[in-house]
Amino acid sequence: MKAAIGVDIGGTSLKFAVVDQEGRVLRERTAATPSHGGANSIMSEMLAGIDSLLADMRASAPDVPIEGIGIGAAGQIDAKDGSVAFAVDTIPGWTGTPIRRLTAERFPALPVYVDNDVNVLALAEKYYGAGKNARHFVCVALGTGIGGAIVQDGAIVHGAYGGAGELGHLSVDFNGPRCSCGNFGCLELYASGSGIHRLLADMFDGLSPPAWELNAAGLLSAWERGDAAAAEVMDVVLGALGSAFASIIHALNPEAIIVGGGMLDRVPALLPAIERATAPRTSPAMWKHVKLLPALSGNRSGVIGAAAQVWHHSP
């Protein structure tokens, strides 16, 4: 048996695991992300977490060789040098952080790979999930924001420096509200947790609010219960998602779109609803060849995909 360290650096938590080549988690630990302390605190916490897992393995499973460290991190990651090419300001100073260099300095005996958090989810899907039988697929993660990853001919599409896959920033309304990326009417403004919050505030502005809480969780539960006002809002959310999914299909002709993220974990009925919104918007020739599939459930996919880089990194 061979194993690797997988690390998932998110805005809320740092997840660590020892994962074997079949994607099984042998050890794991979690720490809160010290975001307030900025990039330096996160890197210290991360290096300490790896250290402790390695020590644990040396003590309890000295016969299992650890072959490398794979890291998935929020933000646009330069997959070649393993640094943060760009990140929003949720983590002060995160942009520019040389994650790979700092990790390799601390653990010089181990190869280190770093990629964007959704790209490593796509690796988990490719080797252990719904992407197993597809050469060309796309992952979409519907959470507080919307992340994406594109796999073409079996390899993650990184683009010029690793920024590719920002599918939450497909504009679905060029006359819509301005997005933090600079564009107008990005998908994320209509169909992410934070976008739904904005949408609800907008739609119920000056009106008496419904009985349910004006956020994504409230909306989704009310919609599942058959609430009429929620259904109206969901027409907008699903219209934006259906249009963006059809755009993705027309642009990339994938065999599958694998959909995951916090929103889908909570409300699985969202996937068939997205499918019903996407089908009539897609050219029949392309629709015939594509499937919408649920992502691996549970929140271990991040560490499993991160570790998979050690054996399956793109050049």
Alpha-carbon span 309 to 311, nearest angstrom: 5
Q: Are strands 13-20 and 25-32 parallel, antiparallel or unpaired?
A: antiparallel
For helices 38-60 and 99-106, the axis angle rounded to 10 degrees is 40
CB of 46 to a second copy, least distance (A): 23
Q: Which of 53/240 has CB closer to a second copy?
A: 240
Per rule CB under 8 A, is residue 154 in the interface with a second copy?
Answer: no
The piece of 5-13, 161-169, 214-222, 267-275 that touches a second copy (CB under 8 A) is 161-169
Per rule CB under 8 A, is residue 208 in the interface with a second copy?
Answer: no
8 CB neighbour count, 10 Å cutoff? 27
Per rule CB under 8 A, is residue 233 in the interface with a second copy?
Answer: no
For 279, which DSSP code?
A: G
Phi, psi of 270 (to 5 degrees): -65, -35
Per rule CB under 8 A, is residue 149 in the interface with a second copy?
Answer: no
* Structure-token match 């419904």, residue found: 210
Among 184, 265, 273, 275, indicate the residue that binds a second copy (CB under 8 A). Answer: 184
CB of 57 to a second copy, least distance (A): 35
The piece of 15-23, 33-41, 172-180, 212-220 that touches a second copy (CB under 8 A) is 172-180
135 forms bridges with which residues in the sheet? none
Token pair for residue 199? 């949408």
* Structure-token match 């280190």, residue found: 112
Alpha-carbon span 222 to 3, nearest angstrom: 44
Q: Which of 7/233 has CB closer to a second copy?
A: 233
Per rule CB under 8 A, is residue 136 in the interface with a second copy?
Answer: yes
Q: In the complex, which residues of this chain contact a second copy (CB under 8 A)? A: 76, 85-86, 135-136, 148, 150, 152-153, 155, 157-167, 169-175, 181-185, 239-240, 242-244, 246-248, 250-255, 280-286, 289-290
